[in-house]
Structure 1
Amino acid sequence: MGTETKSNSYTGQISTSGGNPKVMKDSLSLVRQTVNQHSQSNQVQNQLNSNSNSYPNESDNEHDNNSRDIQAKQEDKSRKEAIVPFVPIFVEEADVIQGAKELLKVIRPTWDLSHVEFKSFTDGITNKLVGCFHNEISKLRDENGGSYLPIKTQGLSPVQSEDPVIIEKDDEEFTDDLAADGALVQYSDNVVLVRIYGNKTDLLIDRKAETQNFLLLHTYGLAPSLYATFKNGLVYEYVPGTTLNTDSVLCPEIWPLVARRMAEMHRKVRKHGESSATKPLPMIWKKTQSFLDLVPERFSDAEKHKRVKETFLPIGRLREEFNKLYEYLEALDSPIVFSHNDLLLGNVIYTQSLNTVNFIDYEYADYNFQAFDIGNHFAEMCGVDEVDYSRYPKRDFQLKWLRVYLEEYLQRSHIQSQEVELLYVQVNQFALASHIFWTVWSLLQAEHSTIDFDYVGYAFLRYNEYLARKVEFLSLTAAKNNK
């Protein structure tokens, strides 16, 4: 399964020579023309989004309802008209910089590649990500293996050599000044990101749905612009800022922004043609069942197979465990909302100069239980590369976080303690489903991914945490008679 959709504007032919992907001249013109049209459309939509970001006050309900009706019509129109160019190029994982250069020739034909610098981000455990920086920007801060923090060139001419520069992670000229994230805001048009899908991730992810999610969230002002798709990836707008880590996610300046942003997504987003009365099948059920079907009975790597068999329940029993848990969780009646479903810390970008957070990577975005999205984020506060479940947020922190979330989600300032307590119980119980989901996901990745990451070890950590928390979380009950 690829990223081609009926709305792709490319209809020509391609040819290859010398081992590098090339696009036929006539087809190249068609793609470039559509890219330019798409860019103009994005500018108009960004204006619409910037004019509709304020939250309603209770005294302005009638005015805001009218505004929302107008905005909804504008968003509906933009969804119908959205066209994402498809570039018929396959980017090899072993040569992502060369692939990025070929893509830039199509989507940024006016860019002189000798003025472009490339940054390979290293925090992804599913995909690979390359930042392409034109002219003004040459250095990035990489605090979390994938930071988006830029600064201007200091004492360097824009062009150092004929070949674009690949910036390494340990570059001594990186800065620790978080305030520098404002340096790129005015230069965002000079930066694009190229995401290359991991090997066989199409087994796990519906790439057509991912593209639709990207466009859908962009119309609500909740995602950057999507510039193009190619055979095994996406090209999209750069979001300046810094990815969160296990310390910053707890900062009082940051966590309320995350809570409100998630609530905003849950409250606002509806897929085109679906009303609020529609009750879709939750993602956690669909995906977990699909993943369980795909986990191999025997892993191709003998050592991995041995580790899996010694550590985990047989898949049939793991499925029974999940089904029993799901039956319990479904009865909690958590609202089904459009959710991100993968808010690990590297998928949250904090821009200090604007006092905002943005969520990135929409591979798993879909309708799901509200409490799953929150519980999954709480579990991800413990880290990925170095997991420490003692960092799972304590009750007091969760209650504060959930109160801020509910204020935005329910659009009222007075939230009863009983409402917070009820959500607290649901969130922690749904965190158990998160552990099973990512356990099964990791087992699939262990068989297919070419990325250097211990997926079996990560599956073991998630599964053990599920077992360790199961009795504690399922015994939680909401306090009664709180005001």
Structure 2
Amino acid sequence: MYLDTVSYELLINLVLLLHLDSKYFFFDTAFVLKKYLPNDWKEDIIRFKTFTDGITNTLIGCYCEIDPKEIVLVRVYGDKTDLYIDRTAEVRNFKLMNSNGYAPKLFATFENGMVYGYVHGEVLNIHTCRDVSVYPLVASMLAKMHKLHYEENFQKVPIVWNKCERFIELIPDTYSDPDKQQRFNKNFPNGKNVFQNELTQIKRQLENIINPIVFCHNDLLLANVIYCGNTVSFIDYEYAGYNYQAFDIANHFIEFAGVTEFDCSLYPSKEFQLEWIRIYLKEFVEDSILLDEELILKLYSDVCKFMPVSHLFWTLWSLVQSHHSYIEFDYIKYAAVRYHEYRKSLKCICST
């Protein structure tokens, strides 16, 4: 059941109930949270927890004091993220993942957010992502996701190029904050116009690559992988959609370096990547006879080629976020780090 249109009075009730800063809300959006909670959840025993790992949206866990294991998540979209995230597609992604048993139930949507079930477990970190009991589960789960499909006639077009184009359009010509503008000028002395040229060049080099176009997560950072026992789950599907298989894998490997403190020395080794890809392909390739060393090395080569694309993608994203987001995160610094890695990794396109 979905709630798309609500009144101003309900907005006021929601703000009071969640005790959130009103800057995260708009005057025409809200939802009746209580409508989607169990009947025995009374207002005086409902508790809230704000999760702080995300750097795009605000995430609030809503739970009952007498049973804290039963949690409903409320995600409030980051300011202006509708400019580059297709929220209709996100709901479609959520439903596709849920219908295949890979995502929790989506209870409700509202204009600037959604309400859905909680996935219990621990998020991966820079240590557990390498654990021999964990990373094979991630590889297999991503292969399963990559075998999902939208409706039969849906066109399989990689979204990465259009997303990058949109990010470039949204990077401001001048930041309203003088300090941000000064730091942007220092880290990107050639200005925003250089990005279009670089995107054009890298697209020309890769758009004819023979790599499967599959249903990708496109944002498989460690905090979006939940580990529990002998299973893993992926969360947050706002960037999901058809894309190059190698991009999704490359993006995940880069995330081994972390986000808040990005450390490129933590990139997985070639040996690790080959073993990860071997496990992935065992699940992805339906005919095991086709799985040979040549196929593994080909996908590894493609993954290396898409490393710079991932760096450029998140460089552009971070520069847009720096202009709009209220979340306390140094987006300019992160953009500079990822752009530096992008320049370094360009040689991968020709060397593998």
Q: Same fold (TM over 0.5)?
A: yes
The equivalent of 1:346 in structure 2 is 223
- Cα displacement string for residues 322-364 of structure 1 (whole angstroms, at most 9, x for unaligned residues): 1111111122211101100000000000012xx1100000110
- Note the 1:313-462 alignment, pairs <5 A: 313-352=190-229, 355-413=230-288, 415-462=291-338
SS at match of 1:21: helix
Query: 2 CA distance for matches of 1:443 and 1:255?
Result: 31
The equivalent of 1:303 in structure 2 is 179
Could you tell me which of 16, 30, 41 is aligned with 2:9?
16
The equivalent of 1:274 in structure 2 is 153
Query: 2 CA distance for matches of 1:97 and 1:449?
Result: 10
The equivalent of 2:118 in structure 1 is 238
Query: 1 CA distance for matches of 2:292 and 2:58?
Result: 44
The number of aligned residues is 346
Quote how far apart the aligned CAs of 1:98 are.
Answer: 12
Greater RCO (CA < 8 Å, at least 6 residues apart): 2
Q: 1:109 to 1:291 in 2, by over 3 A?
A: same
Is the radius of gyration larger for structure 1 or structure 2? Answer: 1
Query: 2 CA distance for matches of 1:225 and 1:292?
Result: 34
Could you tell me which of 81, 90, 94 is aligned with 2:21?
94
SS at match of 1:117: strand
SS at match of 1:475: helix
- Cα displacement string for residues 101-135 of structure 1 (whole angstroms, at most 9, x for unaligned residues): 97432212612122222221110101111111224
| One-letter amino acid of the structure 1 residue matched with residue 276 of structure 2 | W
| One-letter amino acid of the structure 2 residue matched with residue 341 of structure 1 | N
Could you tell me which of 113, 119, 139 is aligned with 2:43?
113
Quote how far apart the aligned CAs of 1:199 are.
Answer: 1.3
Could you tell me which of 114, 121, 126 is aligned with 2:56?
126
Q: Aligned pair 1:252/2:132, yes or no?
A: yes
Query: 2 CA distance for matches of 1:465 and 1:239?
Result: 33
- Cα displacement string for residues 210-264 of structure 1 (whole angstroms, at most 9, x for unaligned residues): 1111112111222111000123111001100000001000000000110001000
Across the aligned residues of Structure 1 and Structure 2, the Cα RMSD in angstroms comes to 2.6
CA contact (8 A) 1:382 1:389 kept: yes
CA contact (8 A) 1:425 1:476 kept: no
Quote how far apart the aligned CAs of 1:396 are.
Answer: 0.2
| One-letter amino acid of the structure 1 residue matched with residue 323 of structure 2 | E
- Cα displacement string for residues 39-88 of structure 1 (whole angstroms, at most 9, x for unaligned residues): xxxxxxxxxxxxxxxxxxxxxxxxxxxxxxxxxxxxxxxxxxxxxxxxx9
Quote how far apart the aligned CAs of 1:281 are.
Answer: 2.3
| One-letter amino acid of the structure 2 residue matched with residue 335 of structure 1 | P
SS at match of 2:50: strand
| One-letter amino acid of the structure 1 residue matched with residue 89 of structure 2 | A
Query: 2 CA distance for matches of 1:271 and 1:96?
Result: 35
Q: 1:403 to 1:299 in 2, by over 3 A?
A: same
- Note the 1:106-255 alignment, pairs <5 A: 106-108=35-37, 110=39, 111-138=41-68, 184=69, 190-255=70-135
Query: 2 CA distance for matches of 1:303 and 1:339?
Result: 36
SS at match of 1:106: helix
Quote how far apart the aligned CAs of 1:91 are.
Answer: 7.5
Quote how far apart the aligned CAs of 1:395 are.
Answer: 0.3
SS at match of 2:115: strand
Query: 2 CA distance for matches of 1:320 and 1:122?
Result: 36
Query: 1 CA distance for matches of 2:340 and 2:180?
Result: 18
The equivalent of 1:44 in structure 2 is none
Quote how far apart the aligned CAs of 1:20 are.
Answer: 1.8
CA contact (8 A) 2:61 2:71 kept: yes
CA contact (8 A) 2:171 2:316 kept: yes
The equivalent of 2:141 in structure 1 is 261
Quote how far apart the aligned CAs of 1:413 are.
Answer: 4.3
CA contact (8 A) 2:306 2:349 kept: no
Query: 1 CA distance for matches of 2:236 and 2:149?
Result: 18
Q: 1:233 to 1:322 in 2, by over 3 A?
A: same
CA contact (8 A) 1:90 1:231 kept: no
